[in-house]
A and B are shown apart, each in its own frame.
Chain A
Amino acid sequence: MARLQLKNLEKDYGSFRAVHGINLDVEDGEFMVLVGPSGCAKSTTLRMIAGLEQVTGGEIRIGGQLVNDRSPGDRGISMVFQNYALYPHMKVKKNLSFSMRLKRRPTTEIDAETDKVADTLEIGALLERLPKQLSGGQAQRVAVGRALIKKPQVFLFDEPLSNLDAKLRVDMRTEIKRLHQRLKTTIVYVTHDQIEAMTLASKIAVLKDGVLQQFGSPAEIYNNPANMFVADFMGSPAMNLLACTLEKDAAGLSVSLARPHGDPIRLPVAKGREQLEAHAGRQIVFGIRPEALTDPDGADRNAKAVAEGECLIEVVEPAGSDTFAVTKLGGKEVVARLRADAHIQAGQTARLAFNLDKAVFFDPKTQLRIA
């Protein structure tokens, strides 16, 4: 069982606490992505799982066994490093087979396994080359191969794609996903790129300043962010977050967003009415993703609660498959995602549809999501 459990995991550097009590439970075969901005201690956490950093508090369990005091080679893990960390003085074949040669496995076994891994990753032609003769993508595969050959319980990736160019990054991303589908190993993957997180993960752990913000599936993280940080960090372009007052009237709860020309637009609360009741009359943060704010023809037909209103478009950004329009609501810039062929021009007003099924509300003091 390649289950990974982190219980109250802590890391202190002297008096500075880098990692604050992280609790995570990763099931066998999950692809868990640790994501967060620079300095959020995701790499530190990964390195503690690998055994490259000493744990100063809490437990790490792999396959149910406590591994805190086990050396990195003794935990059933493998790691792909950001700079690949291939052994420069060894040919690719020797790089791949290093772990087996350390265990003094018979040559026949070593050769068989090396060939198998080389086949899987299509690096058979590179076996006799030195690392400096490899391209970035090839070196990456060799690094993955070296990790694969160990048949680990948990596969660790430390920002493996950040050194590749954009196109290669997308290709390798798909390859990694395909690899996971084939091998079904437990993976812990660190990245600062939230798109990578969303596309690859079966579970995402969002970290900020060493504190776990939310742990859940990509859909949960995306649609029900636990707090404002997660809402803002995940998804591109970012979720629109607007400070306003939660009003209560005869029709129910609603928020009003000021418009530069004309009256404020009234958006009724569609879901989460019970949780929001307590906040009636108070300051609240209203969140809506750009794709929930569209032109009326492009709106989601399955959406039940939709409000429409005229908005003054300030900037139009055609992005090929979509068009982004920037307007001002509640005194703040708001991004809407329209269809590519929406006929909209800057300086004009346009009718926008708000999909209020997808709206979320946050408490401005605690930053937590209310509904």
Chain B
Amino acid sequence: MGTISFDKVSKTYPGAQEVRALEDVSLTVAEGEFVALLGPSGCGKSTLLNLLAGFEKTTEGTMLFDGAAISHPGPDRGVVFQEAALFPWLSVWENLIFSPKVRGLSRAAYEPKARELLKLVGLEAFADALPVQLSGGMRQRVGIARVLAMNPRALLMDEPFGALDAQTRLQMQQLLLDVWQSLGTTVLFVTHDIDEAVLLSDRVCIMSARPGRIVQTIPIEMTRPRSITKLTSPEFMAYKAQIMSGMQVGAIH
């Protein structure tokens, strides 16, 4: 459950000036694995996520989710967007139960779990608030909770903490670690932040810029459960150094 497989996937955006966003990407993510896609902006890592979510179609190659080809978006793959993408006219609670509600589940079936999730992300007091009344970090917590409310087999996270300040980002990373360590859902996590990639994932896939391809895959073998205190450990620094050399940070082309 929750296995992802890309086989020689390419994506070209047609137009007056064709854009080759992805080139020959092959990647397998096992059940319950946490994989980070790391790369500079414009490297096609979000495109990869959009293909998997079913928002866009591949140009070449095959892409499977639990062995089946992906044709359209669906609640088996929960997407967390960078700017949360909550419905601004719905309260936190209504946003949280949007998916079970539109899928026709009975209130009794989703309410207890939704209450639990609201508590998990620490927003019980804000159930009736509108998204506009929340901070960026709180909005993203709703964005994560509403996805967990659908019991997805995989979480696809597109730079979910990219717009947050450094301190809030650390809190959110810790929250995600805690949640993931108890759920064990497959996660594909897009980021441009090396620290974040190393801290959270089992494997970091480094992508090159346009056309995007995976140039290096580095397994992160730090023990679980992890917490943000790992960020200053020597083994963390070693991984960071390895990734920086892989990304050729500092080199000017």
> Is the pairing of A and B real?
no
* Residues in A lying within 8 Å of B, measured CB to CB: none
